[in-house]
Structure 1
Amino acid sequence: MTSIVDNVLQEPDFTDPAVYVPGVPHEALDAIRDREHLVWQPTSHGTFNGGLWLVTRYRDVMDIESRPADFSSVPGAFYPLGNLDGDSPMQKHILFMDPPEHSRLRRMASRSFGPRIVKRFDGWVREVTEEALDDAFARKKFDFVDDVAKLIPCRVMSAIMGVPNEMREQIVQWSLDVFAAQATAENDGGAAFASVFADIGQYMSTLGKEKLRNPQDDLLSVVAASLDNGEIDEFEYQMYATGILVAGTETTQTLMAQSIRLMVENEDTRATFEKAFTTGQYLKVVEECLRYVTPAYNVARTATRDLDFNGQQIRSGDTMQLILAAANRDPDIFTDPHRFDPFRDPKPLAAEGVAFGSGPHRCVGSMLAKLELKILFEEIHRRGARLDLNGQPERGWSALVNQLNTLPLKIATPD
């Protein structure tokens, strides 16, 4: 078996946000995937054994995510691991659980996206999308991130959770605060992140009590009922309610912004989008955007025992960094993977790849995220306006999310 010393990565450091500022380092990830065995990334903190195994192949990612008994989420779902000592409040978050505890919350989570709620998705999403686009398009020049992508997911999640209209903008601000705090977590020890997370959790607790008195066809009514009947406890309730809000905003915002950037930056790609839109193949474009953009770069799992993984010696406590962005460009699965092509044939194992994860932790809100992007495309196409860049887009500072901070656009004026 191959040991760590045989495959230590010197650079780049994939835990450093600076590596991602110019763009996703696909060339370096391709080179790592081409190696026979996994590559070890040394780290100074945030893991048990001083580093990460970089997992870049699609089938390896799928394999590890399907084996929670061997590769646990409990120490942390992302690097740096957030539950190293085993007593973090995050252990009550569904992403930090393994079966059977995870299975219990997953059943509740699935009910929170049940038929009575799902059937209202299109109306909620379309109303919010129309409002945001109408306001932005009326100005002719706007920043797509600030004026559209940041607003739609927060407002949609507010509607789905049953947040009163008068609190909608507060939810938007809280969501933005969470990710601003996450970006500075290493400087303040995560204090700002914990503070805003607690503020949201406290509000969700108060709102949940109102949902018990006056239940509606919304997500929070289902979750509050699960708390009331003892299926989950108070910390699990707050973590789930807050987590679903946060998870449903930042990654969807990223998906929207990066997808529109793809559409407007290159004329050949614009023509591909237009071909799909005019033939009504919106879902194909949505799935290809998910694969191509991959909003969350990576997730983490921790080995629960010494084991052999495809000829690689893995120690108990080793962190497996599953690089979803690399798996979604695996040429063994996707023909010509660096080309944006929603019309690939035959279809790969899953058109969107592992953008939503796989196995027990596959994103419970995946259908909502896909619907939000589909409706955004439909509403932009329906308006018949050409969008052009109006300045240089600015990428975010993150080793976790494929962020876009700004996307200046203008409505093109016909010649």
Structure 2
Amino acid sequence: MQNATVRLDVPLGARPPDELYLLDPALLADPAGGYGKVREQGPVARAWLTDTQPVWVVTRYDDVREGLRDSRFASSPDAIEGHTGEDPRRALVDMLNLPEEVQKYFLVSALDTDPPDHTRVRGAVGRAFNARRMQALRPRVEQLTADLLDDLGRRSADGVLELVDGYAYPLAVTVVCELAGVPEEDRAVFRRWGDDILVMEPERLRESSLAVVDTVLRLLDQRRREPAGDVLSALAAARDDERYRLTEEEAVAMVLNVVMAGYDNTAQLVVNSLAALLTHPDQLKLLQADPDLTLSAVNEFIRWCGPDIMVRMRIAAEDVDFRGTSIRKGDCVQFVLVSANRDPRVYADPDRLDITRRPHDGTEGHIGFGHGIHYCVGAALSRLQCEIALDALLRRHPGLHLAEGPESLRRTIIPGTAPRLPRLAVRV
């Protein structure tokens, strides 16, 4: 589809109507199908992030994995020698219409930095998410799921359970806030801010953004005076740690990223997984017959219906010839997870949900959590919660089924994420 003569240097505001537009409602409504068509037309496609921001789109599994490991694709223009132009990430921040005083927190996180800054920022929080710490959380997550299921049962008069706001979100919010050290009385601030980011309502978002930043600054100050062995304490201490010394902006940004990704993405992974099982009765029966399949099932759900379409935007730090396409220094690149995870070059019958699917190469069997140095720091926590949430629900209610039929699974279209399922009602 692309060749070495195609460029991105086009006049601002000149988006051709026939070129791929990443905010196209049809593409947002069916990202797996839409980006799948792009993938089969060629390895690299020219597209538009906004009406004024062109971008290269990489869609195939091997290419996405390679690109995410390639240091020639930077996360920040600060890593590009001689870069003096406008920060192309600004278009994404501007879409949120954030107050000026909080914008600075959205471009300094570990997701938007490159080594050595990335190593320093991620190192400050990475120890809180190691595999040993995650497994130590298992009894607490199991207890929380049991309590939530008890509560759902008490509140259900007709055998119908609502699993989005009644199960998946309360579980994810509680787990990540306990890990981070956010007190129960402050958790509603984070949930409201996360909801406002997803729906992009400017006035609500302005108010909740100021509130959540003020809350994080207050909590970090408390932890500097009274450490508590949580993520907030680690980030507060990093201000004076020579190995991981963080600025105030970096510490706040990391808290926001940990909490937002930790609850919203995890909750939607649980919801998507349950919806997939309930609309694929053969897979539901398999899992109920053999609970030992739960871990491989979770990996298949991440591949088949993970909550993210793509990773954060990258910027070419130098001229790069990538799969026959000339990508010039400063060009923007989007590596697309949803199409890579259904690439027929890697997966047999990739659009089929198969919880018995086993990776052939020793990997997780997907790149739903990204790849390379920006691999999701909370991947193990998200996987653990999904595994426990599915197992506990199916053991408690082996006969559960959709309360209103597949047509009830109407999803909300939100730019930047896979379509969100706002409600999932089941009868037990």
**TM bucket by the smaller chain?**
0.7 to 0.9
The reply on whether 1:249 has 2:263 as its aligned counterpart is yes
Kept in 1, the 8 Å contact 2:165–2:423? The answer is: yes
Shift of 1:43: 4.6
**Distance between the aligned counterparts of 2:45 and 2:269, measured in 1?**
28
Aligned to 1:58: 61
The reply on whether 1:107 has 2:113 as its aligned counterpart is no
**Distance between the aligned counterparts of 1:375 and 1:267, measured in 2?**
20
**Distance between the aligned counterparts of 2:309 and 2:111, measured in 1?**
16
Kept in 1, the 8 Å contact 2:21–2:50? The answer is: no
Amino acid at match of 1:106: R
Question: Is the alpha carbon distance of 1:42 and 1:203 closer, same or farther for their aligned partners in structure 2, counting shifts above 3 Å?
Answer: closer
**Residues 255-299 of structure 1 deviation map (CA, whole Å, 9 limit, x = unaligned):** 01110001112322322332442xx22211111111111211112
Aligned to 1:339: 352
Amino acid at match of 2:6: I
Kept in 2, the 8 Å contact 1:117–1:218? The answer is: no
Shift of 1:42: 3.2
- Of residues 273, 276, 290 in structure 2, which corresponds to 1:262? 276
**Residues 284-337 of structure 1 deviation map (CA, whole Å, 9 limit, x = unaligned):** 111111111121111221112222111101122222121100000011112211
**Residues 186-214 of structure 1 deviation map (CA, whole Å, 9 limit, x = unaligned):** xx4xx643542332232122222332333
**Residues 328-375 of structure 1 deviation map (CA, whole Å, 9 limit, x = unaligned):** 001111221111112234534523411110111000110000000011
The reply on whether 1:362 has 2:368 as its aligned counterpart is no
Amino acid at match of 1:71: F
The DSSP-based 3-state class of the residue aligned with 1:128 is helix
Kept in 2, the 8 Å contact 1:248–1:369? The answer is: yes
Amino acid at match of 1:225: A
The reply on whether 1:373 has 2:376 as its aligned counterpart is no
Segment drifting more, 344-353 vs 355-364: 344-353
Q: Where do 1:3-402 residues align within 5 Å?
A: 3-4=5-6, 10=18, 13-21=21-29, 24-45=30-51, 47=53, 51-68=54-71, 70-74=72-76, 80-82=91-93, 88-114=104-130, 117-138=133-154, 139=156, 140-165=159-184, 167=185, 170-184=186-200, 188=202, 192-193=204-205, 195-229=207-241, 231-277=245-291, 280-299=292-311, 300-345=313-358, 347-348=360-361, 350-391=363-404, 392-402=408-418
Question: Is the alpha carbon distance of 1:113 and 1:28 closer, same or farther for their aligned partners in structure 2, counting shifts above 3 Å?
Answer: closer
Kept in 2, the 8 Å contact 1:141–1:409? The answer is: yes
Amino acid at match of 1:55: V
Shift of 1:236: 0.9
Kept in 2, the 8 Å contact 1:181–1:192? The answer is: no
Question: Number of matched residues?
Answer: 393
Shift of 1:171: 1.4
**Distance between the aligned counterparts of 1:182 and 1:73, measured in 2?**
22
**Distance between the aligned counterparts of 2:369 and 2:88, measured in 1?**
13
Shift of 1:181: 3.4
Shift of 1:152: 1.0
Amino acid at match of 2:379: S
Kept in 1, the 8 Å contact 2:402–2:427? The answer is: yes
**Distance between the aligned counterparts of 2:191 and 2:427, measured in 1?**
26
**Residues 371-413 of structure 1 deviation map (CA, whole Å, 9 limit, x = unaligned):** 00011122113214322112202212213222111112111xx
**Residues 141-191 of structure 1 deviation map (CA, whole Å, 9 limit, x = unaligned):** 1321111122111111111112233x1xx4145324323334226xx4xx6
Kept in 2, the 8 Å contact 1:324–1:354? The answer is: yes
The DSSP-based 3-state class of the residue aligned with 1:405 is coil
Amino acid at match of 2:321: D
Amino acid at match of 1:143: E
**Distance between the aligned counterparts of 1:27 and 1:271, measured in 2?**
27
Amino acid at match of 1:53: W
**Distance between the aligned counterparts of 1:222 and 1:152, measured in 2?**
23
Any unmatched runs of 5+ in structure 2? Answer: 9-15, 78-86, 96-102
The DSSP-based 3-state class of the residue aligned with 1:142 is strand
Question: Is the alpha carbon distance of 1:331 and 1:275 closer, same or farther for their aligned partners in structure 2, counting shifts above 3 Å?
Answer: farther
Q: Which runs of 4+ in 1 moved over 6 A?
A: 76-79
Q: Name the TM-score, length of structure 1 as normaliser.
A: 0.86
The DSSP-based 3-state class of the residue aligned with 1:321 is strand
**Distance between the aligned counterparts of 1:229 and 1:342, measured in 2?**
44
The DSSP-based 3-state class of the residue aligned with 2:47 is strand
The DSSP-based 3-state class of the residue aligned with 1:52 is strand
**Residues 49-83 of structure 1 deviation map (CA, whole Å, 9 limit, x = unaligned):** xx122211011111111123x11111589795449
Taking every aligned residue pair, what percent have the same amino acid on both sides? 26
**Distance between the aligned counterparts of 1:302 and 1:205, measured in 2?**
31
The alignment yields a C-alpha RMSD, in angstroms, of 2.7
Question: Is the alpha carbon distance of 1:284 and 1:312 closer, same or farther for their aligned partners in structure 2, counting shifts above 3 Å?
Answer: same
Kept in 2, the 8 Å contact 1:290–1:352? The answer is: no
Kept in 2, the 8 Å contact 1:117–1:217? The answer is: no
Kept in 2, the 8 Å contact 1:9–1:41? The answer is: no
The DSSP-based 3-state class of the residue aligned with 2:384 is helix
Kept in 1, the 8 Å contact 2:134–2:380? The answer is: no
Amino acid at match of 1:371: L
Q: Where do 1:399-414 residues align within 5 Å?
A: 399-402=415-418, 403-411=420-428
Kept in 1, the 8 Å contact 2:216–2:252? The answer is: yes
**Distance between the aligned counterparts of 2:17 and 2:286, measured in 1?**
37
**Distance between the aligned counterparts of 2:52 and 2:335, measured in 1?**
15
